[in-house]
Amino acid sequence: MSHLMTFHKILPGCEEGNHEAWRAFLKNYTPIALKLFEVYSPWTPDQRVRSWAEALRAMTVDQGTPLRGFSHQSEREFLVDLRAFLLDWMTEKLEPSRVAEDPPAPTSDSLAAMLKGLPLVHQEIAFLVLAGYSQGTLEKILRISPAMANEGLGRLRTHYAPVLERTEDRCLWPSAWIAIGHAARANQQKDCTPLRLLIRILDGQASWHEKSPAEAHRAACLRCLELWTSLLEVVAWDRQGERWSAAKVEPLLAAIPLQAQQKSKSSLLARMFGK
């Protein structure tokens, strides 16, 4: 499906309240936001759409300050920022009581203890499964075989067996899990890997001298593991190429402060010539 407007024109256009830029934004990114809500909230499909409208309002307050804070450099960096914004925004919207008690929610500490010493790919598998992904989706996100996914689930079998039985993508403890991600993002260290380098690693463009220390670091850093898996998530959803239909975009526009509708040339001509 073609992008009529490129990413580099969408964000500046949205900041100006341009209608076409917002239509392109909503068409391209609504399916990704809704997928995020599907995994990380207990909301019904209707509630997810309402929440997206509410999040759009939150994104455009103060002359669009939150929106201006998202990366404008590349679409994937922007999607990682959008994802972090939405998860943080969800923190106050979720009811902590609506979570599974068995198995109990992981904490940053219990998660770090469980991941400790595991090969990197097994850490990625465990992290994404606890985040809420079924094995089928996990294989697509990480582009791994069922056999490899199975092997990476070893440590989860002891404490999180019910998590492994899922066939749908849904986090068992949204509030607790979002809090873990939030704490990880806030804990950036000097030697943490910048998102831009992670993208180059993903694209196979980083040299061994860049990739090797970044991976060794990530094996012991929850912040970088969270950032890396969030990149893999948004890339996987974007790859699906789902678009929100034009008819469904229009009601969402109501949530956004837009410029007064510009008169198009044709309507000006029509008025001049009385047509």
**Among residue numbers 14 through 43, which ones bind Zn ion (CB under 5 A)?**
none
Tell the smallest beta-carbon distance from residue 222 to Zn ion (Å): 8
**SS3 state of residue 170:** coil
Contact 103, 162 (CB under 8 A): yes
Q: Which is nearer to Zn ion, 195 or 234 (CB)?
A: 195
User: Considering CB under 5 A, how many residues would be counted as binding Zn ion?
Assistant: 4
State the maximum Cα–Cα separation within the chain, in Å, rounded to a whole number.
Answer: 77
Neighbours of 60 (CB within 10 A): 21
Cα 252 to Cα 57: distance, rounded to the nearest angstrom: 10
Phi, then psi, of 242 in degrees rounded to 5: -70, 140
SS3 90: helix
Out of 126, 221, 236, 255, which residue is the one contacting Zn ion (CB under 5 A)? 221
In the complex with Zn ion, which residue's Cβ is closer, 226 or 233? Answer: 226
Look up residue 139 and give its two tokens: 């294989």
Q: Which of 118, 144, 148, 192 binds Zn ion (CB under 5 A)?
A: 192
Kindly indicate which of the ranges 126-134, 145-153, 219-227, 253-261 contains the residues binding Zn ion, using the contact rule CB under 5 A: 219-227
Q: State yes or no: residue 223 binds Zn ion (CB under 5 A).
A: yes
Residue 77 CB, shortest distance to Zn ion, in Å, is 17
Residue labelled with tokens 């599907």: 38
Output the six-digit token pair for 163: 């998590």
Q: How far is the CB of 116 from Zn ion (least distance, A)?
A: 15
Nearer to Zn ion, 19 or 185 (CB): 185
Q: Which is nearer to Zn ion, 79 or 224 (CB)?
A: 224
Between 26 and 224, CB nearer to Zn ion: 224
Residues 6+ apart with CB under 8 A from 159: 103, 114
Query: Exactly one of 86, 224, 225, 231 binds Zn ion (CB under 5 A); which one?
Result: 224
Q: Summarize as ranges the residues that interact with Zn ion (CB under 5 A).
A: 192, 221, 223-224
